[in-house]
Amino acid sequence: MEAVVLAGGFGTRLQSVVSDVPKPMAPVNEKPFLEYILKYLKKNSITRVILSVGYKWEVIQNHFGNDFEGIELIYSVEDEPLGTGGAIKKALQFVQNKQVYIINGDTLFNISLNALKLQNNSKLQLSLKNLKDFDRYGCVESDNNGYVTTFCEKSYKKEGNINGGIYLMASDIFDSFQLNDKFSFEEFMEKNFKNINSTVRIFDDYFIDIGIPKDYEKVQKEIELQL
């Protein structure tokens, strides 16, 4: 199987601690965070990864080259920021299979990728993480059959399921839509979740988002215990 890793982030909220490399290259225990993601993908039997890159992408290529521990690495390079949707759309040009995993380059969600399945005519399955007492994330609600019913805005929730940043996607997901080169995948999902029959799978595995300094510090202590 293949995976697309979204590795083009600027890391704006991490500028106070990481300012000279793309966010997925932020050092965690003297290794780039992206290295842990690739190790996770190898553990899940991924053999081909398309790295969607932009900001200072040469830093990533110079470090990893075209192979990481037997995983073939292909670079989908944005000449200008395309948004998450535009980045995925561009990277899909390099995908060889009918289905592909999409991975956020600034989060680690230690789920079994094999647990994600596209049901019937679904084009997308989201991995969700159950959280309690949070206000940093929006949440995703679903019915008893696992189909998405609502995307909720960020607000305090006593309990809810957040988007874990890993998707299983049909590689022709965008074929029926007229889309600009630049667009947000999150907005695309919120607008079209019914049209693409989006489903969810809820997990309770380890999850961390390094997007803010507090969690970036936290991951230094935790990540080696999780992989």
DSSP labels, 105-124: TTEEE---GGG----TT-SE
pLDDT digits (tens, 9 = 90+) for 122-134: 999 999 999 888 8
Which residues are bridge partners to 200 per DSSP? 126
Rg (C-alpha) for the chain, rounded Å, is: 17
pLDDT digits (tens, 9 = 90+) for 101-114: 999 998 999 999 99
- From residue 108, how far is each of 52, 70, 146, 164, 174 by CA, in Å? 17, 21, 23, 8, 26
The Cα–Cα gap between 185 and 174 comes to 11
Tell me the pLDDT band of 212, cut-offs 50, 70 and 90: confident
pLDDT digits (tens, 9 = 90+) for 68-115: 999 999 999 999 999 999 999 999 999 999 999 999 998 999 999 999
End-to-end CA distance of the chain: 20
Token pair 């803010």 in the structure block, residue = 212
Tell me the pLDDT band of 179, cut-offs 50, 70 and 90: very high
- β pairing state of 199-203 and 99-104: unpaired
The Cα–Cα gap between 1 and 21 comes to 29
pTM metric for this prediction: 0.93
- 225 CB-near residues (< 8 Å, 6+ apart): none
147: DSSP letter: B
The Cα–Cα gap between 76 and 52 comes to 5
